Chain A
Amino acid sequence: MGKINVTIDEIKISVDAGTTILDTAKSVGVEIPTLCHHEQLKPSGNCRICTVEVDGSRTLVGSCHTPVAEGMVIHTRSAKVLESRQATLELLLAGHTGPCVLDMEARECALHNLAAEAEMGAPRFQVQNPRYYAVEDVSPYIQRNLSRCVLCLKCVRACEEIVGQNVVSAAYRGFGSKIVVDADIPLNKEICRDCGVCIEYCPTTALVWADGKKKKSGREERKIQANPPAGKEKRKKLLEMLQEKQRTAGFISETAMREIAGAAELSVSEVYGVATFYGFLSTRPQGRYTIRICKSLPCYLKGGLMIAESVEKELGVKAGETTADGKFSFELVNCIGACDQAPAMLINDRVYGNLSPEKIFELLQNCL
């Protein structure tokens, strides 16, 4: 393996090709703070706490997953780096419920400590709907408090890569993302072998032992057996299996998810995570006709919301609901690529454009 010459905070160093910026920095005593990174886990690059500035790059780069390149000039403490890190920390704090600073256990939280090191006050930012999840204490061994979760995916990766299980997976999408057990049920001892590995990797106090402590409470050390998770080949078919179910049954029930998980040799949480990511997959029963009205800008400019209102009036249901007779489901969706015929909608797989309230009335009469 060749050697790569880089400069990091003015220090010149030569390291093996393939070394990450983070490890290179560490080797010369430059500390870069991290949150989602752990040297025993594959890098994920999700938290963006460890981003640094590299000359010639417009954007910052994640130091935990970016290998050094010849001649790279890296700055780990430039104004750009510190300002963006502060914003990222504030975003993570803002998404929480409850004042972390008053939390007696907060000292065990890596996020709290990073904020303290950065001498941060209250975050500048506010979210629309702060996350609140009830504390899960069904398991006699492990307690989950997802209101404190920062979605670093360490528990997901530790469960898969260290323990060889997939008890937990990321589910839903965007700000609504959540780490789920099975089909989003509280963690329990039937599903989880309570080895507690995830607790050790969790940087916050979202995962603690049942006594509320982060440290092991004198429990005997369990030998960790890392089996490579099965079914990676069959996984390719997962999305198609879910789409097929959606087409034939109109939705993907919990039973269907269990069947698919069995067939694809995946855990239920993994199947649930994929099923809840995509907008055209539904975990609730849908009507025979699914009406999807586009609410994105080109349709909005042409009165798309008025069309939505006339559908609401006609069917007597709101967006996201299904009529009592199970005939119509009505959704407001993002751009369907029929902007030249705005306002437009899909009824099942067919496009209807240049809509007007009269046309809606006519179309729905035809479906009835």
Chain B
Amino acid sequence: MAEKRIVLQNCGFIDPEDISSYVENDGFAALAKARKMGPEAVIAEIKASKLKGRGGAGFPCGLKWEMARRASGDEKYLVCNADEGEVGAFKDRYIIQNDPFSLVEGIVIASFAIGAKKAYIYLRAEYHYLRDTLKAAVQQAAERGILQGLEIELKEGAGAYVCGEESALMNSIEGRRGEVRFKPPFPPVSGLFGQPTVINNVETLVNIPRIIWRGAAWFAGIGTKDSAGTKVFSVSGDVEKPGVYELPLGSKLNEVVRELAGANDIKLVQVGGATGSIVTESMLDTPLSYETLLGSGAIIVLNSTRDVIDYVYRTIAFLNEESCGKCTPCREGTEVLAEVLGRLTSGDGFPDDIKTLAELSQAMNISSLCGLGQAAPVPVLDSLKYFKHDYENRIKQSVFLRKVGFA
């Protein structure tokens, strides 16, 4: 299966530092069209395209815009979430590095549609080197009169994975600790500084000019019934060709990891980053879509030599370090999971460990405050589902070694 480049159509074909090369490639034509259509028609077009959020949660984009447009507020904000912190995700970096202008165009159209006079780009601190690229792109667009009164401000993160979660991101822009907020109220009703706010991922926004230019029907015709368009995947781990690949939604995992990225020995694949689901070798025919599995599109491949428990431990240790610490289940739960998994990794397991992991994971999954805490135990639950033998054997080994005095 070949790639289908829609989001990435300009990557490699324009000069990321020079707006004129973007304009020559029909750049900002979609914006001109959007301005003629008017905000309501733009929102209707995006709704008809069935575009869903590409950051991981998959909320219908047009609906989000409509909620914000209809909400009352002194001011409205558009926020571009460029806090790509998910483990194994680097597609937004790739987009900004190669085509920052499409992102600017998407931001201007989105702001026009919802009625925002101010837009923020929240860029993660780890991507500080992209700051000048983005600033220059915004500056060049402003000089050409493209922004028409819209102010685009670049805000930099300061090193916190959780700030990719939209409520934590807003707290961070407000100069606070990046702790999550409870919902409702949802951001389109009351978000940044208590005003109606739309937060869209980089890839979502880059899809906007494409949809406006070529029409909702064209876009909705790509992918599956409930997953329209393409998805940009970041593939890494035990593969020959790690990198960014764009395919129609509904493509099989096999096509990405085997045919494109060149994985030839697969024990498991984690789809969606640290909080993503685990897929085993026998399930590689699974289509990648919102109905099945997708997340942010981060795909990490582990080969047959990898230790599942060690991998799950590292993943949970990451989430333990990155939990904002506001709610009990995530703050304390990731700590407890790390304790159990750390022991199991070093061969110090106990018969109750599997039960403890399963029960705690279940509770965290339904009672944590935000999506991060709720999804944190997913790799634990999935690995218990597909690799329970590994856990059982590790515990038996531990019990035996203790019995003979080796632990």
Which residues of B does A touch, CB under 8 Å? Answer: 84-90, 92-93, 124-129, 156-161, 172-179, 182, 184, 234-238, 242-244, 270, 274, 300, 302, 306, 311, 314-315, 318, 320-329, 331-336, 338-340, 342, 352, 356, 359-360, 362-369, 374
Residue from B125, B323, B327 in contact with A48 in the complex, judged by beta carbons closer than 8 Å: B327
Contact with B along A292-303 (1 / 0, CB 8 A): 000011101100
Task: Tell whether, in the assembled complex, residue A127 and residue B335 are in contact, meaning their CB atoms are under 8 Å apart.
Answer: yes
Give min CB distance, B161 to chain A, whole Å. 6
- Per the bound structure, the CA–CA distance linking A298 and B273 in Å amounts to 10
Q: Does A335 count as interface, using CB distance less than 8 angstroms?
A: yes
Q: Within 8 Å CB of A280, what residues of B?
A: 125-126, 157-159
Q: Within 8 Å CB of A296, what residues of B?
A: 87-88, 274, 314, 318
Given A94-B336, A235-B176, A337-B124, CB of A84 within 8 Å of CB of B182:
no
Task: Tell whether, in the assembled complex, residue A175 and residue B335 are in contact, meaning their CB atoms are under 8 Å apart.
Answer: yes
Interchain residue pairs with CB less than 8 A apart (10): A45-B369, A51-B366, A59-B366, A80-B366, A87-B333, A151-B328, A174-B325, A278-B125, A337-B89, A340-B242
Q: Which residue in chain B gives the minimum CB-CB distance to A88? A: B328
Task: Tell whether, in the assembled complex, residue B332 and residue A298 are in contact, meaning their CB atoms are under 8 Å apart.
Answer: no
Give chain A interface residues in 53-75, CB to chain B under 8 Å: 58-60, 62, 65-67
Task: Tell whether, in the assembled complex, residue B234 and residue A48 are in contact, meaning their CB atoms are under 8 Å apart.
Answer: no
Q: Does A315 count as interface, using CB distance less than 8 angstroms?
A: no
Task: Tell whether, in the assembled complex, residue A62 and residue B359 are in contact, meaning their CB atoms are under 8 Å apart.
Answer: no
Q: Does A274 count as interface, using CB distance less than 8 angstroms?
A: yes
Q: Does A176 count as interface, using CB distance less than 8 angstroms?
A: yes
Residue from A65, A87, A94 in contact with B363 in the complex, judged by beta carbons closer than 8 Å: A87
Q: Within 8 Å CB of B161, what residues of A?
A: 334-335
Residue from A243, A273, A298, A339 in contact with B156 in the complex, judged by beta carbons closer than 8 Å: A243
Give min CB distance, A157 to chain B, whole Å. 13
Q: Within 8 Å CB of B328, what residues of A?
A: 46-49, 88, 91-92, 150-151
Q: Within 8 Å CB of B234, what residues of A?
A: 339-340
Q: Does A317 count as interface, using CB distance less than 8 angstroms?
A: no
Task: Tell whether, in the assembled complex, residue A177 and residue B160 are in contact, meaning their CB atoms are under 8 Å apart.
Answer: no
Q: Within 8 Å CB of B332, what residues of A?
A: 91-92, 94-95, 125, 127, 175
- Per the bound structure, the CA–CA distance linking A128 and B338 in Å amounts to 7
- Per the bound structure, the CA–CA distance linking A236 and B87 in Å amounts to 29
Q: Within 8 Å CB of A66, what residues of B?
A: 182, 184
Residue from B85, B325, B336, B363 in contact with A127 in the complex, judged by beta carbons closer than 8 Å: B336
Give min CB distance, A2 to chain B, whole Å. 16
Q: Does A3 count as interface, using CB distance less than 8 angstroms?
A: no
- Per the bound structure, the CA–CA distance linking A277 and B89 in Å amounts to 23
Task: Tell whether, in the assembled complex, residue A346 and residue B334 are in contact, meaning their CB atoms are under 8 Å apart.
Answer: no
Contact with B along A72-107 (1 / 0, CB 8 A): 000000001001110110011011000000000000
Task: Tell whether, in the assembled complex, residue A60 and residue B366 are in contact, meaning their CB atoms are under 8 Å apart.
Answer: yes
- Per the bound structure, the CA–CA distance linking A337 and B335 in Å amounts to 25
Give chain A interface residues in 221-274, CB to chain B under 8 Å: 235-240, 242-243, 246, 264, 273-274
Q: Within 8 Å CB of A60, what residues of B?
A: 366-367
Q: Does A338 count as interface, using CB distance less than 8 angstroms?
A: yes
Q: Does A311 count as interface, using CB distance less than 8 angstroms?
A: no
Task: Tell whether, in the assembled complex, residue A342 and residue B363 are in contact, meaning their CB atoms are under 8 Å apart.
Answer: no
Give min CB distance, A328 to chain B, whole Å. 19
Given A94-B332, A128-B339, A177-B325, CB of A45 within 8 Å of CB of B363:
no
